[in-house]
Amino acid sequence: MTPIEFRRHLHAHPELSFREHASAAFITERLQEEGIACRPIADTGVLAIVEGRSPHNRAVVLRADIDALPISEATALPYASQNEGIMHACGHDMHAAILFGTLQRLHRQPDFDGTVIAIFQPAEECNPGGAAKVLAERPFEGYDVVAVIGEHVDSGLEVGEIGLCAGRFMASNDELRLWVRGCGGHAANRAKITDTVTAAAHIVTMLNAVNDEQTLLSIGRIVADGATNVVPDEVYLEGTLRSFDEGARRTAWRIIEGVAASIDSKFGTTTAVDINHGYPCVINDPSLVDFARKAASDDFRIVELSPRMTSEDFGRYCSEYTSLFYRLGVGAAAGGSHTPTFNPDERAIETGIDYMCRLTIKTANEYGTAKE
């Protein structure tokens, strides 16, 4: 099976986080057809191993995510989603196809020393993410992991372009949920009610003070189920907290709790705060980024990227191993990810395989050795 055929099958049969049963079965069957050893991991993921010309415990880990999003596809592609309300709108089908094609090539021409371990990872799109479940199984125990490498498609880059960023690249991610509770009632009897709506509005306004160059806090959902003349007993808030700095992140947690307590004291409300701690920052090892830049040579166009407030559970690997997460151009015509019309240029698959293969081989053979 070609990588494009592989991608189109996954695209037509998307599955949500931790429900990737059919996807995992399909990936396993295709790997087995190639003679590539593989096994389940993290319930609905797949771990594959390709041994080099001289197998030993020095290993390079490659990771691709495989889950889709709860979005109804509107591309009208012949291989559009057959699963209603679910779509590969973030390019994970592309990531999996590139990893599959990379393993095909490495297995057929194992021009490297050591071992390549590949993770087709479930549940990147949910908090706290599938990477935590992968690592909890300690799949790399007994190996000397030289690097963990992953990539993500990017419509901000054209086909043939590779985006790199040394150091802090993507932000941490926490999900925020707040319940502002009180005794509502007739809006005209203000002396007899607790104004949960005004209290919630003050919380939103005060939380804006958290935002700075290192930290972003946004409230994206407010549910106040009252009426023109009814103040509800409860107002529900949902939002996200992103940060490039773990210290600032922990400070923001304390600020959120403090703001809720302050508003409760002022308005007589009782606010329950739930901070669902998610991914840590994606921090690219600077020396590995430099190595990846040199590995591109003149065959790939390297674009230097700036840190971004989007997040990725690849940060879990960064927190434990020397890691690199890069961006692969799929063209501006692809449109925005997480939209019903996202349509990456499939020519990027070959570029992605070429670069991942080269980087994997050079990392396995040279990175951290005298050759470097």
Q: Which domains does the chain have, with CATH numbers?
A: 3-170+281-366 (3.40.630.10), 172-277 (3.30.70.360)
Q: Return d(Cα 172, Cα 189) in angstroms, integer.
A: 44
Q: What is the pLDDT of residues 52-90, one digit of tens each?
A: 998 789 999 999 999 999 999 999 999 999 999 999 999
Q: Cα separation of 290 and 166, whole Å?
A: 8
Structure confidence at residue 368 (pLDDT): 82
User: What pLDDT is attached to residue 369?
Assistant: 73
Q: Cα-flanking dihedrals φ and ψ of residue 358, to 5°?
A: -60, -45
- The pLDDT score that the predictor gives to residue 372 is 44
At 53 the pLDDT is 93
Tens digits of per-residue pLDDT, 226-276? 999 999 999 999 999 999 999 999 999 999 999 999 999 999 999 999 999
Residue 2 has a pLDDT of 98
Nearest to 148 by CA among 327, 307, 30, 283: 283
What is the pTM assigned to this prediction?
Answer: 0.94
Q: Where are the beta strands (DSSP E) in the chain?
A: 37-41, 45-51, 54-65, 113-121, 144-154, 161-164, 167-170, 172-181, 185-186, 215-224, 230-231, 234-243, 270-277, 282-284, 301-304, 323-329
Instruction: Judge whether residue 328 has pLDDT over 90.
Output: yes
Sign of the CA dihedral with 52 first, then 372, 100, and 280 last:
positive
Write the single-letter amino acid at 204. Answer: V
Average pLDDT, the chain: 96
Residue 224, strand partner residues: 235
